[in-house]
Homo-oligomer: A and B are copies of this chain.
């Protein structure tokens, strides 16, 4: 197989299909999604047997238990996947929305129309359910998709792809609207990210290494999600009833997610009051604290297991632990908090706990991150929690889309002009 030619072929098919799905009615797209979901449920045995092949190969290759767990398609997982596709069908269609129409002095009326991006390339790692999720989101937003999953999930992804094609076919849409790359050769990724004539945007979903590599080599725009070094800042005017619940939820509800807090900043004026209580709560969850000198002194002799208290290194302020570890720093107040966050954050999500209107609004305006919150847990930074219905990823970029990317993030707006024979003078 000549990989470059194969990928060019997929690209050519996708470009042609993208014209048809861009012009498809909401009814046709929803019918295809409902048929996909039905096919996923009906072909349950087929999906599980394909998945067993991947699991056997994974065990033979000695993949670790966490990886195998992510790879596994259970009966419940199949239902969840089908329900996810049905949920996308139920979302409003963003395509074709006309807004901001205004008459200009020349007589023309100028407005905007929301349109698909065209062809979206998705590169992802082990979880096979991404195949169905991404297919559904791309189709609903009127885009064609080329999906490139991890090699360990090859059989599972191909089986899901067959269900996706069945759904497209049932609704009279081109089966090439969603194509799953059938080779595990890494050259396929290189080709996919360097075909601007066929692919309009790449969405990589995976570890930081994968995303950095793709961003470096891509010749098309990349909607990327790098790390989530999220902060909670406890302000001088924090409501005592909100401090511990928000810090606890932001740090301990799940350790491995990108919207989990990794650094706690506490205003000096209230550090003595809140830090011991926060420290004991964190210790109760077994969370290790990497402390600045001042917070380390305050937290020592609070009855906290000494093995959980460490002096922070400079690198701790930039770390995404994805683990029961939290960096802790005392700051002078709102100014130092904003400055520290804008210097060290990865621009994902930050929260302030404060009852002071001016501090809260300054934090909201001046913190330069994709999500900025007042008196709420950073864990809310999520497409479902925000009401997007679903998300293709969370962007840490600053252009196009910031934060959770839903259907709208897979579209853009073109200009439309309604004239009556006007010419420019």
Cβ contact within 8 Å between A380 and B422:
yes
Known: A385-B424, A386-B104, A422-B377. A221 touches B413 (CB 8 A): no
Determine whether the beta carbon of B424 is less than 8 Å from that of A377: yes
Partner of A372, one of B118, B245, B342, B416: B416
Is A269 an interface residue, CB under 8 A from the partner?
no
A414–B350 Cα distance when bound, in Å, is 12
Q: How many copies of the polypeptide does the oligomer hold? A: 2
Quick check: A402 and B398 within 8 Å, CB to CB?
Answer: no
A414 touches B402 (CB 8 A): yes
Least distance between A50 CB and chain B CB atoms (Å): 34
Check if A200 is an interface residue, CB within 8 A of chain B: yes
The one of B22, B253, B418 that contacts A424, using a Cβ cutoff of 8 Å? B253
Interface of A is mostly: mixed
Q: Is the CB of A201 within 8 A of B399?
A: yes
A364 and chain B: residue at smallest CB distance: B416
> In this assembly, does A366 line the interface, its C-beta being within 8 Å of a C-beta of chain B?
yes
- The reply on A334 being an interface residue by CB < 8 A is no
In the complex, what distance in Å separates the CA atom of A381 from the CA atom of B106? 12
- Would you call B201 and A398 a contact (CB within 8 A)? yes
A242 part of interface (Cβ distance < 8 Å): yes
Query: Given the complex, which residues of B lie within 8 Å of A416, measured CB to CB?
Result: 364, 371-373
CA distance A382 to B343 in the complex (A): 38
Which residues in B have their C-beta under 8 angstroms from that of A402?
Answer: 412-415
Are A417 and B342 within 8 A (Cβ)?
no
B370 touches A415 (CB 8 A): yes
A342: B residues at CB distance < 8 A? 19
A117 contacts chain B at the CB level, 8 A cutoff: yes
CB of A372, distance to nearest CB on chain B (Å)? 6
Interface check A23, CB cutoff 8 A: yes
Q: Is the CB–CB distance between A387 and B118 below 8 Å?
A: no
- In the complex the two chains form, is B106's CB within 8 Å of A385's CB? yes
Chain B residue numbers with a CB within 8 Å of A370 are 414-415
In the complex formed, the residue of B with least CB distance to A418 is B374
> Chain B residues with Cβ under 8 A from A245's Cβ?
421, 423
- In the bound complex, residues from chain B placing their C-beta under 8 Å from that of A412 are 398-402
Cβ–Cβ < 8 Å partners of A319 in chain B:
none
A375 interface hit (Cβ, 8 Å): yes
User: How far apart are A233's CB and chain B's nearest CB, in angstroms?
Assistant: 14
What 5 A-B pairs are tightest by C-beta distance, nearest first? A376-B419, A249-B423, A373-B417, A242-B421, A379-B424
7 contacts between A and B (CB under 8 A): A106-B380, A246-B423, A369-B414, A370-B414, A374-B417, A377-B422, A402-B412
Q: A106-B380, A113-B365, A372-B417 are in contact. List 14 more A-B contacts (CB 8 A).
A: A19-B366, A22-B368, A23-B366, A118-B368, A221-B399, A249-B424, A351-B419, A370-B415, A373-B416, A376-B418, A376-B419, A381-B417, A399-B412, A402-B412
Residues of A in contact with B (beta carbons under 8 Å apart) = 19, 22-23, 96, 102, 104, 106, 108, 110, 113, 115, 117-118, 200-201, 216, 219, 221, 223, 239, 241-242, 245-246, 248-250, 253, 342, 351, 364-366, 368-377, 379-381, 385-387, 397-404, 412-424
